Amino acid sequence: MVVLVTGSSGQLGQSLQKIAANHPQIIFHFYSSSELDITDLAQCETVFSAVKPSYCINAAAYTAVDKAESEPAKAFAVNVTGPENLAKVCREFGTLLIHISTDFVFDGNADKPYTEEDLPNPTGVYGKTKLEGEKAIAAIWDKHFIVRTSWVYSDFGNNFRKTMLRLASEKTSLSVVNDQFGTPTNALDLAEALITMIRSGKNTFGIYNFSNEGQCSWYDFANKIFEINKIKIDLQPIPTTHYPTPAKRPYFSVLDKSKIKKTFGIEISNWETSLKNK
């Protein structure tokens, strides 16, 4: 079993590298964006020709949500053209494609967790390009899994957990929004779920949701991070209106994980439990 991973220097890519040794039956090939530029179709074909992967996990993405508002062309290249190219080469080489998407494809106006059947309605450039990337894949290659996730954190890259820990070392007080709700996702849990999907050998293609279980606000998330790390800090809850950003965030983006749990027998930890196990 040969698995090619794009975006290997990101949070998910590095998490997959961390656990790869636990799965000796899989031969992993990791490519960072400097080693494989998914926006370059010829480069994709060259790499696929050499590796001949059974699966491709596309962990490459333009994820700078606010920056995307002023760099739409860059976001489009990585989040739409890139997946389109991968779908084309996956079709050419018979490779099953696992593409990582986001809760930002939704507008956040729901009052219950989003299922895979709910209608997307992204409000910003990042979410719009991620949705266009999903559509590009679906139009080109039917043997694909699209996995939507949310609030990803890890020991790698840039993420909310690392930012909170850094800011706590620099400041005595912090303000965090308490009226946006979602679910943190430990990148290691996501990585394990993807490997479980691959090892199952199932061809139940389509869209799947994955995050940890439960829900919280960003304020709740920050509070738990400080509690676990025994950090004393003056943490103040604030409304979104007090922290304006270029891109509008979904107010509610909790994902329903019933489909992925039932299809692949995946057991998912509560977000607080997974955060403690970091």
Residue 61, pLDDT score: 97
Whether the Cβ atoms of residue 3 and residue 54 lie closer than 8 Å to each other: yes
Question: Taking 90 as the threshold, does the pLDDT of residue 259 lie above it?
Answer: yes
- In 150-202, DSSP assigns E strands to 152-153, 173-177, 181-182, 185-186
Catalytic residue annotation? 126
The alpha carbon dihedral of 104, 105, 107, 110 has a sign of: negative
What percent of the chain is predicted at pLDDT more than 90? 99
pLDDT in tens, 149-170: 999 999 999 999 999 999 999 9
Q: Which domain holds residue 29?
A: 2-159+183-215+253-271
Give residue 277's pLDDT: 84
Q: Give the confidence band of 78 by pLDDT, cuts at 50, 70, 90.
A: very high
Q: Does 237 fall in a domain?
A: no
Rounded to an integer, what distance in angstroms lies between the CA atom of residue 250 and that of residue 97? 27
Domain-embedded: residue 107: yes
Look at residue 227 and tell me if it is in a domain.
Answer: no
* C-alpha span between 84 and 136 (Å, rounded): 5
239 lies in a domain?
A: no
Rounded CA separation 129/223 (Å): 32
Residue 39, domain member (yes or no): yes
Global pTM value? 0.96
The answer to whether position 64 is within a domain reads yes
Phi, psi of 36 (to 5 degrees): -145, 105
Q: Indicate whether 90 belongs to any domain.
A: yes
On whether residue 139 sits in a domain, the answer given is yes
Beta strand 206-209 with 144-149: parallel, antiparallel or unpaired?
parallel
Average per-residue pLDDT for the chain: 97
| CATH number where 9 lies | 3.40.50.720
Q: Give the count of beta carbons closer than 10 Å to the beta carbon of residue 92.
A: 13
What does the radius of gyration of the chain's CA atoms come to, in whole angstroms?
Answer: 18
Q: How many domains does the chain have?
A: 1
